[in-house]
Amino acid sequence: MHPFWNSVVKVLPTWLAPNLITFTGFMFLVLNFLILSFYDFDFYASAQGYSHVPSWVWVAAGLFNFLAYTLDGVDGKQARRTNSSTPLGELFDHGLDSWACVFFVCSVYSVFGRGESGVGVVTLYFLLWVVLFSFILSHWEKYNTGVLFLPWGYDLSQVTISVVYIVTAWVGVETWYLPFFWNIYYRDVFIVMILGCLFTVTLPMSLYNVLKAYRSKTLKHSSVYEAFLPFLSPLLLFILSSLWVALSPTDILQQQPRAFYLMVGTAFANVTCKLIVCQMSNTRCQPLNWLLLPMAALVLLILTGLLNQSETGVLYLWTGVVLLAHVHYGVSVVRPRTEHNEILT
C-alpha cells in the first residue's frame, strides 16, 4: 500500500499536522462503532429474523474503515514530508492504534452477528483477545529489541474488512448465512483469518526477531523476567475479565457484550500505551497497571454475589471509569509534550 499512500500524501497540504491526520483516522473507526451501536447494539441485527442494518451503513462503514486505514498509513509520511517527526507523534499514533483494535473488531462482528450462522459472543471475546495480543506482541518486540516490526497481515486485514463492508451493502447479510465451501461458513473464514495472522505471521516474526537480538547480544533486557514483564498486566486483565465472563451470576457477556468488549479493549489500550511510553523512553515497564486493582475488587464482589441485582449497572459504571481514566492518561501524557514542542501550533 505504500505506493498508494505516497500518492495520497502528496495531495495533503503541508500545514496539515500529522497528529491531526492520526486523530481523524481514529475517529472514523469510532464513528463506525457508534453508528453500528445504534443499529446493532446487541449484535443480533445480522441474524435471521431480526431487522437488519441499512445498506447505507455498510457503505459508510467500508469507506470510513478504508479512510481510517489510509490516514493511519500517511500520517508518518506527512510527518517526514514536513520535517515534523517527533516521539510524541509515534506515541500518539500507536496509542490510538491500540485503542482502535476494539472498535474495528466490534464493527466487523456486526457483519456476522450472533445468529445461528454467526459467531457467539464468547468466541468473539477470545477473538478480541487474539487481536489485542497480536498488537501488543509487536510492541513487546520493540521493548526488547528496539525495533518495531509491523506485519503485513494488518494491511491485508484492513483492506479485506473494507471490502466485506461494501460487499455486505451490495448482497445483504443473508449471503453470510450460506456455507462458503461444503460445511464451512464465512464466519469460519473470519475466525481462521484472525488466528492465521497471529500464528503464521505476528507471533513467529516477533519470536524470531527477539531470538535474533538475543543471539547477536543486542537484546535490551537480559533476564527472562524483565523481557516478559510487559505481559504481566495484560495477562492479569485477561484473567480478571475471563473470570467475570465465566462466573458472572447474570451471564453478563450474553447480556451486554458491546459494553464488556469496550471495557476490556479500553483497559488493554491503557496498558499498552504505558508500555509504548516505556519502550520509547527506555525505561522499565511497570509490572502492574493501577486499573487492575479496583477491577480485581469489583470482580471479587460480583463473584461473591453481592452485586447480582446491579451487575449491568456496575459494568456500565466501570466501563465509564475505564474510559475516563484512559482519556485522562492520554491527555496528561500528550498535553505537556505538545505545549513543549509546539506540535499543534
Instruction: Please give the positions annotated as active site.
Output: 94
Residue 173 cell numbers, joined: 447479510
**Inter-residue contact 112 to 174 (CB < 8 Å):** no
Distances (CA, A) of 120 to 126, 128, 176, 254: 10, 12, 15, 9
Among the listed residues 274, 47, 261, the one whose alpha carbon sits nearest the alpha carbon of residue 173: 47
Q: How many other CB atoms are found less than 10 A from the CB of residue 303?
A: 15
Task: Report DSSP letters for 44-81, one per residue.
Answer: -TTSTTSPPPPHHHHHHHHHHHHHHHHHHHHHHHHHHH
Alpha-carbon distance of 202 to 338, in angstroms, equals 32
Alpha-carbon distance of 75 to 16, in angstroms, equals 10
